[in-house]
Structure 1
Amino acid sequence: MSFHPQGQDDEVMSEINMTPLVDVMLVLLIIFIITVPVINNAVKIDLPRAAAQQNDVKPAHVDLAIDADGSMTWNGAALTEDALKARVEDAAAQQPQPELHLRADRKTPYEKVAQVMAAAQAGGLGKIGFITDPGMLR
């Protein structure tokens, strides 16, 4: 907003009117002076201290190995397809649920690995990990 001094219509007055700005700043200052003591007013409460530690139970894991001929072992014990379904269901019922570590020979047909994964999913196991041996890849 520009003001024209009387008698001079050509020149524009380029001064800023500071009065509204100072009024706004004073109002904000008063608001802050009133609200700061309200914010800092706190009630002290003595809460009991707990000394319990959280127990992190790591789930067990099950090693399932598949040989090149399709034979399976469950934690080192020989296993058939029918027994696999029962063992997967038993493992899925445990709390916390164990992880299935699947170790397959490099010459194992993918179809057999897929069948084992499908049986684990159908049985209710949620975590399947693949174990590889870098020394066998050479």
Structure 2
Amino acid sequence: MRIRDRRAEDVPEINLVPLIDVILVLIIFFVITTTFDARSVLKLELPRAAGQPNDAQSNSLSLLINADGRYFVDDREALRTDVESLKRTIIEVAGDDRERTVLLRADARTPWQAVVTAYEALGQLGFTRIANATAPEAPAPAAP
């Protein structure tokens, strides 16, 4: 009678299922806990101004006006450029909260009429706290 050694036949294997489960949980954890920057996708060239930046705009309503005079309230675009269409878009995004600060970001090449239309819509809706976003002034070149 021949006695076989079973240890020689055991082939070690690596079980990948727990590894995949751990990696999936880590991916989900990092996606959920990542803070996303709420910067606009639009490329705006803000007007220059001297002054101190104000970082207290965390809960503000963002109103963007691009160089063509089109309006974007947070991430929603106003369908037309008239006052009534802009007011409807602001109401859809802001609801009844008129105490929020509105951060107006207009491109430096924006027609002045588009900015006036934005102020008119905000005034008619009862917003009183409006801040204008600007870029810091470029430093003056040093004299040699």
Tell me the TM-score normalized by structure 2: 0.46
Larger radius of gyration: 1
**Bigger helix share:** 1
Higher relative contact order, chain-length normalized (CA < 8 Å, sep 6+)? 2
